[in-house]
Amino acid sequence: MPADNVYATKVMLNDIKNNYRDDLSKVTVVSPDVGGVVRSRALAKFIDDADLAIIDKRRSADNVSEVMNIIGDVKDRICIVPDDIIDTAGTLCNASDVLKKSGASKVIAYITHPVLSGPAVDRISKSSIDELIVTDSISLSQDAKKCSKIRVISLASTLAECMRRLNNEESLSALFL
């Protein structure tokens, strides 16, 4: 059976442009790891060809990562960190701390799937992350809903349009960047 991935990039891009339209020239898109460079570069291209930085990290064990270095300049920049999933939030919180220590003015993460297990919400609350924007692909816990740093953006219109196109045997590719 044929399958298509449904991407949240367009929804995230609309949110970035609506909330940071006056500051787009100050945005640097930060790939959370080498594996996310293609996704981050694509997002940066659509944010007025924003600068790109990369977090160089290593994993010493499952759910344990250490930020080694930041490739690129983040001083006085609004750092937008896109990723597909957040689980315990350790990597993102560590990355945020390193970005802030490197001079970032803000750290804003956009995550498609907010698993937010274990200590995640507490870590986010206490972290240097300014805002964590997640989609509604997974329901949030009550603690996550109460966290002032977490904001949800909806995939409902994207999914509805996917269903409409599938029912009408139309292409989905135009929906995605």
Helix axes 9-19 and 156-167, enclosed angle (nearest 10): 140
Which alpha helices (DSSP H) does the chain contain, by range?
Answer: 9-19, 37-46, 90-101, 120-126, 142-146, 156-167
Note whether 47 and 142 are within 8 A (CB): no
10 is catalytic: no
* Letter string b/e over residues 116-128, b meaning 16 or more CB atoms within 10 A of that residue's CB: beeebbebbbebb
Catalytic annotation, pick one of 10, 17, 26, 57? 57
Residues with catalytic annotation?
57
